[in-house]
Amino acid sequence: GQQLNQSPQSMFIQEGEDVSMNCTSSSIFNTWLWYKQDPGEGPVLLIALYKAGELTSNGRLTAQFGITRKDSFLNISASIPSDVGIYFCAGQDAGNMLTFGGGTRLMVKP
Amino acid sequence: EAGVTQFPSHSVIEKGQTVTLRCDPISGHDNLYWYRRVMGKEIKFLLHFVKESKQDESGMPNNRFLAERTGGTYSTLKVQPAELEDSGVYFCASSPGSGPYGYTFGSGTRLTVV
């Protein structure tokens, strides 16, 4: 089946630093998504990308859909303690099903 | 608007027992999905309902798992008999149609099989 390789698996950074994480896939997806999961909660959609090459921002978050439609990155600028959580990339195909990456656990030191 | 609600939030059962997880989607959402995250790995798709019909059940791991969606409203996921490797977090999500927006996840049920 389809697989997304997400890296890094975890990051421990200082408050105020910028963060970057990415996902690659052997398959093409119609839509790339980035989710955040807080402890005890379900994933919440942060950014959705629909077109190859698309660059989208949501506050301090910026994500891009790779030209080949097989990769995406998420940047977080000027991290704050509430950015702590697990970030997942996901690809969506025509069937509505989501294929998730393994997640990046972000820890922020005040 | 109430979100996607899952019951219970946690369940600890012994190997060989039966467990039933419940999901109440957002009212009016025809699409209902089950996913699970096992042992800190990726979140994996299990199945997709459109109203009461199973649209895609390609992710169901084996015949110990049975999902139903009576009347196209709430859904249940039964594991019988449970095995150790079934431990993980089971997420339900619902959406009104296609596309990622409106695709809302519940808080999950953490299942521990001992």
Q: Are the beta carbons of B45 and A98 separated by less than 8 Å? A: yes
Name every residue whose Cβ is closer than 8 Å to that of residue A14 and which is 6 or more positions away in sequence: A108, A109
Three-state DSSP class for residue A56: strand
User: What pLDDT is stored for residue B1 in this prediction?
Assistant: 63
Closest chain B C-alpha to A106 CA, distance in angstroms:
14
Angstrom CA distances, B82 to A65, B18, B68, B90, stand at 40, 6, 17, 14
Structure confidence by residue, pLDDT tens digits, A62-93: 999 999 999 999 999 999 999 999 999 999 88
In this prediction, residue A1 has a pLDDT band, given cuts at 50, 70 and 90, of low
Distance from CA of A14 to the nearest CA of B (A): 24
The predicted-structure confidence for A36-56, as pLDDT tens digits, reads as follows: 999 889 999 999 999 999 999
- Mark B82-99 as b/e (b = at least 16 C-beta within 10 Å): beeebbbbbbbbbbeeee
Nearest CA in chain B to A97: B45
* Close Cβ partners of B17 (under 8 Å, ≥ 6 residues apart): B81, B82
Q: In this structure, which amino acid lies at residue B70?
A: T
The rounded distance, in Å, linking the Cα atoms of A17 and A15 is 6
Residues of A in contact with B51 (CB under 8 A): none
Query: Can you tell me the distance from the alpha carbon of B113 to that of A4, in angstroms, rounded to the nearest whole number?
Result: 28
- Distance from the Cα of B107 to chain A's closest Cα (Å) equals 4
Q: How far apart are CA A90 and CA A66, in angstroms?
A: 13
* pLDDT(A2) > 90: no
Averaged pLDDT for residues A2-7: 89
For residue A55, what pLDDT is reported?
96
Q: Are A84 and A104 in contact, with CB atoms under 8 Å apart?
A: no
**Inter-chain contact A45–B100, Cβ cutoff 8 Å?**
yes
Inter-chain residue contact B43 with A97, CB threshold 8 Å: no
What are B87-112's pLDDT values in tens digits? 999 999 999 887 777 789 999 999 99
Kindly determine whether residue A42 and residue B33, on different chains, have CB atoms separated by under 8 Å.
no
B11 touches chain A (CB under 8 A): no
Q: Which residue of B has its CA nearest to A38?
A: B107
* Contact (Cβ atoms closer than 8 angstroms) between residue A104 and residue A85: no
Nearest to B72 by CA among B55, B91, B53: B53
pLDDT of residue A56: 95
Counting Cβ atoms within 10 Å, is residue B64 exposed (0-12), middle (13-18) or buried (19+)? middle
Query: What is the pLDDT averaged over residues A5-16?
Result: 96
Predicted confidence (pLDDT) per residue in B35-93, tens digit: 999 987 899 999 999 999 999 999 999 999 999 998 889 999 999 999 999 999 999 99
